[in-house]
Structure 1
Amino acid sequence: MQATSTTPDLWQQIFGGNWQPPATMVLLTAGAALLVVLLRPLWRPARNVITIVHEAGHGLVAVLVGRRLSGIRLHSDTSGVTVSRGKPEGPGMVLTSLAGYVAPSLLGLGFAALLAANRTNVVIVICAILLFGVLVMVRNLYGVLSVVVTGLLLFAVSWFAPDGVQAAFAYLIAWFLLFGGVRPVFELQRKRRRGRARDSDADQLARLTGAPGFFWVGSFLIIDLGALLVAAAWLLLP
């Protein structure tokens, strides 16, 4: 087949309507994602994905507000650091600091909108683009390993799995981002109570704005829970 005829086919495969999953699959993937988030043995390795999206959120917003992105580091304890250069205060720095804890939930909300519109393949493509962008900016070995392993899993599903499995995987990703975006906010506040998070995003925002750190923790939680509720309505209601 000639390239001129395959290009529209590829475009249609990615952006056209995909296989519509049954309601039971939507519920099962939601339950599976919730179990991964709630059960510590499953949450610990899976949290690396949330960290990747968290740091990608910092990096993307930093670039959008005109800061210079220097690099991203992902650590084995599932923490991460994004370094950008620019004005150390002002709206750009506030938005950059704000982006991390809301990025997974907002991305999950976006994926829910795509899935509600029956665009499963677009979710997979966006995940691939996100992972590639993070991989380019990662500056430590563990970070590279974490992104590559996640990318290989994504590739295996998108390349070898049938449409039904790909759809279930896309729903699982969306639900995991939505549920997984909430739990780190509670973990953050527990660390803050113990005095172990003095350089957290919430405390940086407190220094930048004068509003207390607890206000920003509450803001993270409201945004994340709001995204979860809206996405759940899109995915579960007829």
Structure 2
Amino acid sequence: MDEIWTRITTRQPVPEPQVVALLGGGALLLVVFAWPVVRMLVTIVHEAGHALVATLTGRSLSGIRLHSDTSGLTVTRGRPTGPGMVATLTAGYTAPGIVGLAAALVLASGHAVGLLWAWVAALAVMLLFIRNFYGLLVMVVVGGLIGAATWYLDPLSQSWLAYLLTWLLLLSAPRPAVEVIRRPSSTSDAAQLARITRVPATMWNLYFLLITLACLVVGVAVLAPQVLSAT
């Protein structure tokens, strides 16, 4: 435990700006050309956002499911309307961008390895609430790979992995919001919010998109400010 704590709390040098930019470019290529894989990562964070906010607002978390089509479902118990339900529904699409931004701030402070361990801890807690075999398999694989990286990779490689994961969240977060705008669904988070709040689903979808884009811009400013200064 002492060794683990030392790894978590030890600061690592921030990579050179060129390396950070290259990792961002690699993440963008993955978002474009390996979207099904990346989307599962986004779905994990999406459902984690629902679960966390539901718990914080006093709702009871029944379980989380991850499906092979990269969709997910978080089931909570409580009032079907009210602030708690609204907060829970709004947390899903905004979670990847917000988590990505928070991760960028952690990386800027030099705690890349600590960030990876935080990922492992969060996935371990989430694993307790998975209620289907496919979801269990996904969580074990993702958590196992990140866990192995925190233990076996050298600090430089761990730092690069932390940056890559953060870039993936920031760059991919807006895409699901765009997809749901292009293909509205009566069961989407926005549609459920529309029924509860009387605010049109389109407005909620635009809200999701604006939040994720804002997180992306601020995240880029934190991770690679030279990118924005050059535009």
- Bin for the TM-score computed over the shorter chain: over 0.9
Q: Could you say which residue in structure 1 is the equivalent of 2:106? A: 114
- The 2-side partners of 1:190 and 1:43 are apart by 17
1:158 to 2:150 alignment = yes
Give, as a single letter, the amino acid of the residue that structure 2 aligns with 1:96. Answer: T
Q: Could you say which residue in structure 1 is the equivalent of 2:45? A: 53
Q: Could you say which residue in structure 2 is the equivalent of 1:3? A: none
Give, as a single letter, the amino acid of the residue that structure 2 aligns with 1:98. Answer: T
Q: Which residues in structure 2 correspond to 1:1-238 (within 5 Å)?
A: 7=2, 10-39=4-33, 42-192=34-184, 197-237=185-225
- The 2-side partners of 1:45 and 1:230 are apart by 25
When normalised by structure 2's length, the TM-score is 0.94
* C-alpha deviation, 1:214, in angstroms: 0.5
Per-residue CA shift, 1:177-215, capped at 9, x if unaligned? 1111111111111221xxxx1110010111111110010
Partner SS state of residue 202, structure 1: helix
Q: Could you say which residue in structure 1 is the equivalent of 2:229? A: none
Give, as a single letter, the amino acid of the residue that structure 2 aligns with 1:116. Answer: A
Partner SS state of residue 76, structure 1: coil
Partner SS state of residue 183, structure 2: helix
When normalised by structure 1's length, the TM-score is 0.92
* C-alpha deviation, 1:161, in angstroms: 1.1
- The 2-side partners of 1:111 and 1:210 are apart by 34
* C-alpha deviation, 1:131, in angstroms: 0.8
- The 1-side partners of 2:145 and 2:18 are apart by 24
* C-alpha deviation, 1:10, in angstroms: 4.4
Alpha-carbon contact 1:109-1:231 (below 8 Å) kept: yes
Report the count of equivalent residues: 226
- The 2-side partners of 1:111 and 1:30 are apart by 14
- The 2-side partners of 1:132 and 1:13 are apart by 18
- The 2-side partners of 1:117 and 1:160 are apart by 23
> Alignment identity in percent?
45
Q: Give the superposed CA RMSD.
A: 1.3
Q: Which runs of 4+ in 1 moved over 4 A?
A: none
- The 2-side partners of 1:210 and 1:65 are apart by 21
Structure 2: 5+ residue stretches without partners: 227-231
- The 2-side partners of 1:125 and 1:155 are apart by 7
Alpha-carbon contact 1:87-1:93 (below 8 Å) kept: yes
- The 2-side partners of 1:16 and 1:155 are apart by 17
